[in-house]
Amino acid sequence: MSYKVTEENNISTVYLDGEIDMDVTEKAKEVIMPLIEAKKEVHLNLKDVQYMDSSGISVLIESHQKATELGTKVTLKEISKSVLKVIMMAKLEQILNLD
Amino acid sequence: MSQSQIINLDEKRDFEVNSSNLKHVRSFCREVFEKLNINQDLKDELVLAIAEAAQNIVKHAYKNEETEDKMEIKISVSNGYLEIGFFDKGRPVEKDKIRHRKIDDIKPGGLGTFFIQQIMDAVVFKEGEKPWINHLILSKNLNN
């Protein structure tokens, strides 16, 4: 997994790239969580994520819950077909902010 | 899809038990499923189910501990019936404790087993024959 972070209008966008599994979830959290803890609005761009398993889904849930707790928001952007399928299998499409 | 379109095969591979090998587990599965005349969505689901089961071996049978042990994954297709065997030498699986979290209880974790059960027709835990400790069998009828 690789990533890129951009800032615009007080929104941090994290572009994730590659496959997100148990081996890279800590790295993903290290990138995303400090932005949420800084109470920034975070967009996670998932267009280049070709695979996500239950560990990756856990990162999305944890990010969403932390943001809600701190009064900010995480929005999933340009979700790839394969990731959307896993989100729907987990029945999270009504819980997470999908755009 | 009729079973006449699906070839028979029998392939197995060993993987060192650690999270960095999960990508190699997925590559092996993709390589095997490429030989089968099944649709891409089903291939992706099967790769996810297998990777979740392999992840459970790393997380639960070995508690993420460093080990030189290997797990073996065997993929067999016969007459359109898919069977995937997982063999490991970790802690014995306590079958009664295996359950996915309630799906409406939104919290991180506990989804891997749910995905496996959603994708596969049957999930069976057996005691492994020596030298193995655990033997998990996932199966699915590809003719449906």
User: Going along chain A, which residue ranges are E strands?
Assistant: 2-8, 11-20, 41-52, 74-77, 97-98
Q: Do A53 and B55 touch (CB under 8 A)?
A: yes
Chain B positions in Cβ-Cβ contact with residue A19 (cut-off 8 Å): 23, 26
Q: Do A19 and B109 touch (CB under 8 A)?
A: no
C-beta atoms surrounding B104 within 10 Å: 7
Residues A92/A58, Cβ–Cβ less than 8 Å: no
Of A53, A91, A95, the CB nearest to B48: A53
Nearest CA in chain A to B110: A54
Query: E strand or H helix at A31, and its extent?
Result: helix A25-37
> Which of 1.10.1060.10, 3.40.50.300, 3.40.50.10860, 3.30.750.24 would CATH assign to domain A2-98?
3.30.750.24
Amino acid sitting at position B106? I
Q: Which residues contact A15 (CB under 8 A, 6 or more apart)?
A: A3, A4, A5, A6, A45, A47, A48
Residues B120/B140, Cβ–Cβ less than 8 Å: yes
- The end-to-end CA distance of chain B, in Å, is 7
Cα separation, B50 vs B45, in Å, equals 9
Largest CA distance in chain A: 33
Residues B114/B73, Cβ–Cβ less than 8 Å: no
pTM of the predicted protein model? 0.93
pLDDT for residue B94 = 81
Could you report the per-residue pLDDT of B38-92, keeping only the tens digit for each?
999 999 999 999 999 999 999 999 999 999 999 999 999 999 999 999 999 999 9
Interface TM-score (ipTM) > 0.90: yes
Q: Is A52 left (phi over 0), alpha (psi -120 to 50) or beta?
A: beta
Q: Do A53 and B51 touch (CB under 8 A)?
A: yes
Chain A contact present for B42, CB below 8 A: no
DSSP bridge partners of B123: B138
Distance of CA A24 to the CA centre of its chain: 13
Could you report the per-residue pLDDT of A18-56, keeping only the tens digit for each?
999 999 999 999 999 999 999 999 999 999 999 999 999
Distance of CA A39 to the CA centre of its chain: 15
Nearest CA in chain B to A53: B48
Could you report the per-residue pLDDT of A83-96, keeping only the tens digit for each?
999 999 999 999 99
pLDDT for residue B110 = 78
Of B23, B108, B115, the CB nearest to A21: B23
Q: Do A86 and B58 touch (CB under 8 A)?
A: no
Q: Do A61 and B51 touch (CB under 8 A)?
A: no
Of A59, A62, A89, the CB nearest to B115: A89
Q: Among all chains, which residue has been given the structure tokens 């995937």?
A: B84
Enumerate the domain spans of chain A. 2-98
Q: Do B106 and A61 touch (CB under 8 A)?
A: yes
Could you report the per-residue pLDDT of B2-16, keeping only the tens digit for each?
445 789 999 999 999
Chain A contact present for B41, CB below 8 A: yes
Residues B111/A57, Cβ–Cβ less than 8 Å: yes
pLDDT for residue B3 = 44
Residues A58/A85, Cβ–Cβ less than 8 Å: no
Cα separation, A91 vs B117, in Å, equals 14
Which DSSP category does B60 fall into? I
